[in-house]
């Protein structure tokens, strides 16, 4: 299991378009991937779950992956978040 925490820095947080990119990226991997914010933990491959977290700019999220490609999955998601989702 791999776990990394990162701050969301793009201006609009995880609204519809960044959330869709997040889910698309997570969906490429066979590992189970979750996003944790505070006490809430949702499946990173679920757009509704991700949007339900209402993640805004400055929020710290923890990306958790468990499976054969867990390291690659977390690193690619971290790259996506670091890039600001292209915004």
Mean pLDDT per 10-residue interval, the chain, length 87 residues: 96 91 97 97 96 94 98 97 86
Q: Give catalytic status of residue 38 as yes or no.
A: no
* Environment class of 79 (CB within 10 Å of its CB; exposed 0-12, middle 13-18, buried 19+): exposed
Which residue out of 4, 15, 36, 41 is catalytically annotated?
Answer: 15
For the chain, the domain total comes to 1
* Alpha-carbon span 40 to 87, nearest angstrom: 26
The pLDDT value given to residue 86: 76
The residues with which 6 forms a beta bridge, in sequence order, are: 61
Residue 34's domain spans which residues? Answer: 2-86
At 11, which CATH number? 3.30.1340.10
Q: In terms of pTM, does the model score above 0.85?
A: yes
């Amino acid at each position: 299991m791999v776990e990394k925490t990162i701050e969301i820095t793009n201006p609009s947080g995880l609204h519809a378009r960044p959330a869709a990119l997040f889910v698309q990226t997570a969906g490429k991997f066979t590992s189970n991937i979750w996003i944790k914010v505070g006490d809430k933990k949702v499946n990173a491959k679920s757009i509704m779950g991700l949007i339900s977290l209402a993640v805004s700019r400055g929020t710290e999220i923890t990306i958790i992956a468990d499976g054969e490609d867990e390291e690659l999955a977390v690193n690619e998601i971290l790259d996506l978040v670091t890039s600001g989702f292209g915004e």
